[in-house]
Amino acid sequence: MICKVLRLVPDPYRGMIPLYLAAIVVFALAQSTAYVLLMPLLEALFRGDLGAAWGWTAGVAGAVIVVFVCGYRQSVLGLRIGTGMMHSLQTRLGDHIATLPLGWFGTATAGRVSRLISSSVKDAMGVFAHLLSPLLTGVLVPAGVAVGMLFLDARVSLAMLVSAPLLYLVNRWGQGLYSRAETNAHTAAEESNSRVIEFAQAQPVLRAFGAATTGNRGLQNALTAQRRVGRGLVYASVPGLVVFSFLVQLTFIVLAYLVVSFASGGTLSAPAAIALIAVSSRFIDPLNQAAELSTAVRGAANAADRITELLDTPPLPESDSPLQPADAGVRFDDVRFAYDTGEPVIDGVSFTVPAGTTTALVGPSGSGKTTLLRLASRFYDVDHGRIEVGGHAISAYSSTTLMEQFSLVFQDVYLFHQSIAENVRIGRPDASADDLARAAEVARVDEIVDRLPDGWDTNVGEGGTSLSGGERQRVSIARALLKDAPIVLLDEATSALDPQNEAAVVRGIHELTRDKTVMVVAHRLSTIQHADQILFLDQGRIVERGTHDELLAADGRYADFWNERSRASGWHLVPAGEGAR
């Protein structure tokens, strides 16, 4: 168990581990030495041999001093290793998560990551901070007492040593029960954490449908399952502890009986018997403490397994090549891709987007349009085929170089819990104030800033909740404008906007795409009509391609789509009885 946690200790702190363990060992052996010396000390006092008694007292005092010094030393080292380990693991986990492909992230990711970085890391660092020392002491002190007694009374020492294997087996059995239950409890906690986060983020939807208090079955079921599994964890830990405690007390009774028997038979003096009973109690107490702590160490070992599993998750392969794209062209060559479900989302797609042109992706929902945009920017690696940017495979570029080529504007806009200025500057952190103001003016973010009490410094809340959907989209456009990348990947999201926000967003998009290579999932008819190339997708395949006029003349799927959209664009509500127009 301990080895799993040891592997997570960062290199700068590994050199402290031998000193830490040595301090614990000396600390435990000094304790056991002090206990063992009680027997000759009491015998000397009862005999009236004050000279010998003072000698044994000096030995006990020396052992106590060693206990104090080594106890302090191991505590300091343990805290230094534990806190350093916690900081390092949180940093490593954060850095590693940033390298994982987006396919790793799912609905339960937030709860899982939150649980790992907070609870699991804390459990793992606790091994050094406050668990390992009392656990090892609980084993080493009884062992030292048992060995030391060999030189004073071998009969009691052998009785102590005989009980050790039985106690070990019982403790191992109990830990097996606890480990399985703890794994189930952690999984339930991850699910409930995810549901709580979802519950907080989805309040507008829940309240709109009257499900804020009674209708959220997912959260209720997750919390109920967590309570049930939590009770199971308690029940799983009880049998091992009860049986182990019973055997420990039984061992003490047997040792006390043997000591009294030897004293009654005249083979052991009364002072020695008193000392042996006292020493036997110090043999027993640390074992109980070690049994209680071993469950916590087992939980820490499980936490270390979960942390290691995440750190071992393969990142998206990263190139360190200094390669730069020759132009802003994009090319898909027989690309196939499937998510974890195994069903192909993109199936043999090939097309080219020449530099400086606009390609519109059109088709029914679920046909793979947005997935193509995400594959182009390497949010995922393709299962088959090749995607090129500027004449080279996107996997040949470093992630920094590749992402410098793209400005992304997707439907789901996420703003960080920071100021408006900081959210826009994510596009280019070193942008000047003039550049920031220019991008904001084009996207009409300046109108938002002017009406807010703190202007650019206004915090937008988690996910940008203090702004409307249209305002968040304006900030997203400003972010992309500020970045000014040569390729724009655009998933238009203007259909749900009010006229004012739609006008602002459309204006920003026109400026953003000027003289750029554009791949756009098109919803607005004007965007589709003016594209240099239109690809009509269905079930992950390109079923039609061409310009707007060419596809209308072909009178195929695109023509049907266009005619349907044209009719839908003119709909409006009329008073009852007048009929629809």
**Which residue is associated with the tokens 């199971």?**
232
HEC profile of 445-460: HHHHHHHCCCHHHCEC
Instruction: Tell me the sheet residues that pair with 352.
Output: 331
* pLDDT attached to residue 580: 45
Strand partners, 533: 359
Lowest mean pLDDT among 11-20, 136-145, 250-259: 250-259
User: What are the b/e assignments for 303-316, b being 16+ CB within 10 Å?
Assistant: bbbbbeebbeeeeb
Q: What is the pLDDT of residue 143?
A: 73
Q: For the CA atoms of the chain, what is the radius of gyration?
A: 35
pLDDT tens digits, 365-382:
888 888 899 899 888 889
Amino acid at 211: A
End-to-end CA distance of the chain: 73
Q: CA–CA separation, 178 vs 564, rounded Å?
A: 62
Gap between the Cα atoms of 13 and 20, Å rounded: 11
pLDDT digits (tens, 9 = 90+) for 409-467: 877 777 888 888 888 888 788 888 888 888 888 888 888 888 888 888 888 877 777 78
| pLDDT confidence of residue 209 | 46
User: Distance of CA 167 to CAs 134, 140, 233, 528, Å?
Assistant: 18, 14, 22, 76
Tell me the per-residue pLDDT of 148-176, one tens digit each, with 9 for 90 and over.
666 666 666 666 666 666 666 665 665 56
Higher pLDDT, residue 509 or 281: 509
Given a cut of 60, whether residue 108 has pLDDT beyond it is: no
Lowest mean pLDDT among 29-33, 111-115, 162-166: 162-166
Q: Where are the alpha helices (DSSP H) in 1-49?
A: 2-6, 11-14, 16-36, 38-47
CA 222 to chain centre: 19
pLDDT at 581 (0 to 100): 44
- Give the pair of three-digit tokens for residue 559: 């023509």
Region 507-534: mean pLDDT is: 80
Q: Does residue 277 have a pLDDT over 80?
A: no
- Cα separation, 27 vs 78, in Å, equals 14
Across 15-24, 231-240, 242-251, 433-442, which has the greatest mean pLDDT? 15-24
Residue with the larger pLDDT of the pair 143 and 69 = 69
Q: Is the pLDDT of residue 476 over 70?
A: yes
Which tokens is 266 given?
Answer: 């005249």
**More reliable by pLDDT, 390 or 162:** 390
* Residue of higher predicted confidence among 257 and 137: 137
Is the pLDDT score of 333 beyond 90?
Answer: yes
- Flag whether pLDDT at 133 surpasses 90: no
121, 246, 441, 479 from 446: Cα distances, Å? 43, 74, 6, 13
> Which tops the pLDDT comparison, 499 or 82?
82
What is the mean predicted confidence (pLDDT) over 484-495? 78
Asked whether the predicted pLDDT for residue 106 surpasses 70, the reply is: no
Question: What domains lie within the chain, and their CATH numbers?
Answer: 2-311 (1.20.1560.10), 330-568 (3.40.50.300)
- The pTM of the whole model exceeds 0.75: no
Average pLDDT taken over every residue of the chain: 77
Closest CA to 485 of 513, 510, 507: 513
Q: How many CB atoms lie within 10 A of CB 265?
A: 8
**Are 396 and 319 a contacting pair, CB within 8 Å?**
yes
